[in-house]
Structure 1
Amino acid sequence: MNELRPRVLLVEDDVQLRTMLEELFTGEGYEVSSASDGQKGLHLALTGEFDVLVLDRGLPVIDGLSLLTKLRREGVGTAALILSALGNPADRVEGLDAGAEDYLSKPFDVDELLARLRALRRRHAATAATLRIAGGRFDVESRSVVRDDGSIVELSEREGALLEELARWPNRVFGRDEILEYVFPNAEEAGVVDTYVHYLRRKLGRGSVRTVHGLGYRIGTLA
């Protein structure tokens, strides 16, 4: 991910507001991708890498909260801010419970919106040692996985290194050669990749690492 130009995904169906926000974010140094409905936003969020998500709540096709719920179920942990004309406490609680880190009512102050985005990015950087996986969280420092049911699975150094690489890029498919280069640079045979994928699946469930036939592996869902 480009550290000099943080990436934001904007999903907003109001053309005028979307255009204004695109210009605003670009002027603040963001690289902006945008969509006009929840289905297109879901596709972009699952296939790209972003530093922050800005989602309108009242989207066509898939509403903003349902979109965010789907992303969280897929293991996308990118910080999200919900924009909505619904601003009473119950609506904000619903948005936060759906997985949003922040919720801003319309109409909003532009400077406040930008400040909240900066805060989300700082918060994300501060918690990067804990990576969200569908079904739990991975603590990079301790090399342990905490499932949503509270159970803990300890990983070896190499198992943890492989899981970390996959979890940091949840929408990316890694070829065996890439994993060998990034995770096991001193290994002599590519078979070590398949071996440690097997080890992770044995500890975390078969679906924890997905095989994308003809391409390689990507992060999956804890059993």
Structure 2
Amino acid sequence: MRLLLVEDDPRLGPIMRDVLGVDWRVELVESAEAARDAVRTTAFDAMVVDRGLPGISGEDFVRELRRQRIATPILLLTALGQLHDRVEGLDAGADDYLVKPFEFEELNARLRAMTRSYDQPLGVEIGGWFFSPEDRSIESPYSGRIALTETETALLAVLVAEPERTFTREQLLERVFAQGERATTVETYVHYLRRKIDRDLIRTVRGRGYRLGALD
């Protein structure tokens, strides 16, 4: 599972990265601005954000993520331990709040609890996006969850099931659409999907049909 760690302390940050790295794929950044760039390119399973960051505070960064409807579980880390400080952090959109100094055993336990309670449907990652066919949605690394129609979900599911295969329009028509539909219907729904996701996630193979694009 991927964890974004936003911590500007030059000593504590690397230590946290190494300790948490036993159970997580940790990306460490030192500012909210750098965290923004990381969130744009990577889908994280959880975040640990220091409240007292330089420039944009951790609390404001969490607010920004929630305004963008990014629902990734977030633990806010801070040296401020008064009740009103904890309330402000939670009201900003954090899922949990841990006061420094802390024990790594407790931090790990809180992260496990946060990710257990996060209702993430079964699915597959496609080029940084997370496709959840049962939920009829795809999670964008830029803007959060995007709802898909039943037909869009079925079309993408066929491509995802055999990512190395190029499907002709006729094959997709037979698998996804009702009898009597024309091949142009496939092109129409590929267009609909591309308006919602990165265009290169569905690749056009000239003269043959379509296949899944980005596989990383």
The two structures share one fold, judged by TM-score above 0.5: yes
* Structure 2 residue 62 is matched with structure 1 residue 68: yes
Q: 2:120 matched to which residue of 1?
A: 128
Q: Aligned partners of 2:18, 2:82: CA distance in 1, in Å?
A: 29
Could you state the TM-score of these two structures normalised by the residue count of structure 1?
Answer: 0.63
Task: Find the residue that maps to 1:15 and give its secondary structure.
Answer: coil
CA contact (8 A) 1:84 1:105 kept: yes
State the distance in 2 between where 1:128 and 1:49 align.
12
- Within the candidate set 75, 78, 90, 2:72 is matched to 78
The equivalent residue for 1:182 is: 157
Q: Which runs of 5+ in 1 are unaligned?
A: 1-5, 130-139, 144-159, 198-208, 218-223
- Asked if structure 2 preserves the Cα contact closer than 8 Å seen for 1:47 and 1:172, the reply is no
Q: Which has the larger radius of gyration?
A: 2
User: For the Cα contact (< 8 Å) 2:41–2:141, is it kept in 1?
Assistant: no
1:24 to 19, 25, 30: 19
Give the Cα–Cα distance (whole angstroms) in 2 for the partners of residues 14 and 97 of structure 1.
25
Query: Secondary structure in 2 aligned to 1:68?
Result: helix
- CA RMSD, Structure 1 to Structure 2 (Å): 3.3
Q: 1:107 to 1:169 in 2, by over 3 A?
A: same
Given that residues 75 and 170 in structure 1 are in contact (C-alpha distance below 8 angstroms), is that contact kept between their aligned partners in structure 2?
no
Secondary structure of the 1:103 match is strand
Judged with a 3 Å threshold, the aligned counterparts in structure 2 of structure 1 residues 182 and 171 are, in CA distance, closer, same or farther, namely farther
Measured at CA, do residues 192 and 8 of structure 1 come closer, stay the same or move farther in structure 2, by a change above 3 Å? same
Residue from 184, 187, 192 that aligns with 2:189: 192
Counterpart pick for 1:11 among 6, 19, 23? 6
Q: Which ranges of 4 or more aligned residues in structure 1 deviate by more than 6 Å? A: none
Name the SS of the counterpart of 1:82 in structure 2.
Answer: strand
**TM-score, structure 2 as length reference:** 0.65
1:102 counterpart residue number: 96
Shift of 1:128: 2.9
Aligned counterparts of 1:89 and 1:181: Cα–Cα separation in 2: 47
8 Å contact from structure 1 (residues 56, 64) kept in 2 = yes
2:32 is equivalent to residue 38 of structure 1: yes
Equivalent residues, number: 163
**1:161-199 Cα distance to aligned partner (Å, 9 max, x none):** 3xx12xx3343899xxx97433786255121244578xx
Alignment-mate amino acid for residue 128 of structure 1 = Q
Counterpart for residue 171 of structure 1: 142
| Fraction of identical pairs, as percent | 36
